[in-house]
Structure 1
């Protein structure tokens, strides 16, 4: 048998009333039922809390010490569950993780509309260079993920796909082209973020795959391209939020788009996650959550 909040309340009532009879009357319980509850708590803890050997009930030294801790625990739970005090813990920031581009060009709108709808609840964008943008290890409450990323114990909303862009050096011959194809990049070195990127050599036909240069961060990826040492392939959101000196973005016309997902734990780790999901759907025009 494990003890719970009911046992703490029963013990505190007995300690305050001075007798099990009076405590039972205050709690609208029968005396035998309250005596059993006290016995269950003592059995669970392996220590006697109440001395019943005298005419008047008294707490043992262990009972006196436990009463102080039990009182604080019950008070904390009551405060947490008090609707009048809910605003305090609801103001804990809601964390939205992303690997590099959040919602792309829609990100400012999301933040503006969130501040208007929830002025007392911060929405924090957290960039984390992992495949799940911090969701799998609990660093964020929800995450925008690109590509085929599966996170156990989560729910998802499919956001609009993003077309792919070629990222090239502004000083190179490809930057002035109105559009590019994978064949235009096949003879170049392609920089790939091996941690969070959505580009692999399998985008190209088996006989014309480019040389791959692996980088660890978005910053490394941008620097490699700006210096002319490589080209890149990336979702359109990167071109919207990562303008970088020396890097030009050119549309790719013969490559499938990148799937984008809003993902959160089930059950949510923050009470405002449903409001975030709803707003992201409105901002992006996404369908409803998966069942």
Structure 2
């Protein structure tokens, strides 16, 4: 038996869902069918793609490397069908937090108006590439530098940094804050998708305590509870308001660049149109 497109789609579903059961539900087939499809793919490739030795399904190093190639192959097939007039699947736009900030709603509305036949799904995925590197999305909003090879990176805009502090704490009464102010409190760091690291501070003036969280929700809850302070971007204040957290400018820090990133070639035929629209929306065109 040779490798077929259904084997690739099954493998990508497993990679995205991290679960045989959820992959089966997503594909609307049985779990044994998912296991058989994966076994066939591994046998044909001669490598083990998925580690099943733990309670959670994880990809092996070979699986991680193959996932990107499989996503490109499936995307090329979908693009070929689209060029022949066949309907395509929804275009998936990933973000780790805050999406495109104030440009998010204008982008979604213009896409719906200008591309009514191609649904655009906005997905929040808590990892550095917002799901792009594991094939969960077709395009990703990424803040900060992008160094992964093989990605097309389109700069959109830059955002000012802000401090996030407890609403009833001493910092909330100030109009703006400095790094020196924040160094006196524990620093909340989102180690999975955040853009703040202790290295923002001078080596001899860094916060003495760092508390690590893994997503924006836990980051906000910890600040609200008075466990420490955080640093983020201006869009966070708009997209993630919290009654017990206030945001204050940090004018001494450089802004954070915001990019759209995708694979080359893209995994969905509508990716170039989305990139062009995002550039138009964020530049006011």
Q: In the alignment, is residue 270 of structure 1 matched against residue 268 of structure 2? A: yes
Q: Are the counterparts in 2 of residues 202 and 209 from structure 1 also a CA contact under 8 Å?
A: yes
For residues 1-291 of structure 1, what are the structure 2 equivalents within 5 Å? 86-89=85-88, 92-210=89-207, 211-285=209-283
Secondary structure of 2:217's counterpart equals helix
Aligned residue for 2:170, secondary structure, equals coil
Per-residue CA deviation, residues 4-52 of structure 1 (Å, 9 max, x unaligned), is xxxxxxxxxxxxxxxxxxxxxxxxxxxxxxxxxxxxxxxxxxxxxxxxx
TM-score (norm 2): 0.69
* Structure 2: segments with no counterpart, 5+ residues: 1-76
1:285: Cα distance to partner? 1.6
Q: Distance in 2 between matches of 1:139 and 1:202?
A: 31
SS in 1 for 2:171: coil
Q: Is the 8 A contact 1:192 1:199 kept in 2?
A: yes
- Deviation of the 1:82 alpha carbon: 8.3
| Cα distance change of structure 1 residues 82 and 255 upon mapping to structure 2, 3 Å threshold | closer
Counterpart CA distance in 2 for 1:182 and 1:119 is 46
User: 1:173 and 1:274 mapped to 2: Cα distance?
Assistant: 47
- Aligned Cα root-mean-square deviation (Å): 1.8
Alpha-carbon deviation of 1:120? 2.1
Deviations 1:189-217 (A, max 9, x none): 11000111100111111111002111111
Specify whether residues 117 and 207 from structure 1 end up closer, same or farther in structure 2 by C-alpha distance, changes over 3 A only: same
Runs of at least 4 residues off by over 4 Å: 80-83
Question: How many Å separate the matches in 2 of 1:253 and 1:143?
Answer: 27
Quote how far apart the aligned CAs of 1:88 are: 1.6
Deviation at 1:176, TM superposition (A): 2.2
Unaligned runs of 5+ in 1: 1-76
With normalisation by structure 1, the TM-score equals: 0.68
Matched position secondary structure for 2:173: coil
CA displacement 1:117-143 (0-9 Å, x = unmatched): 112211111111111111011110010
Q: 1:184 to 1:82 in 2, by over 3 A?
A: closer
CA distance in 2: counterparts of 1:285 and 1:277, whole angstroms: 12
> How many residues end up aligned between the 2 structures?
206
CA distance in structure 2 between the partners assigned to 1:116 and 1:163 by the alignment: 30
| 1:81–1:119 CA distance, 2 compared to 1 (3 A) | closer
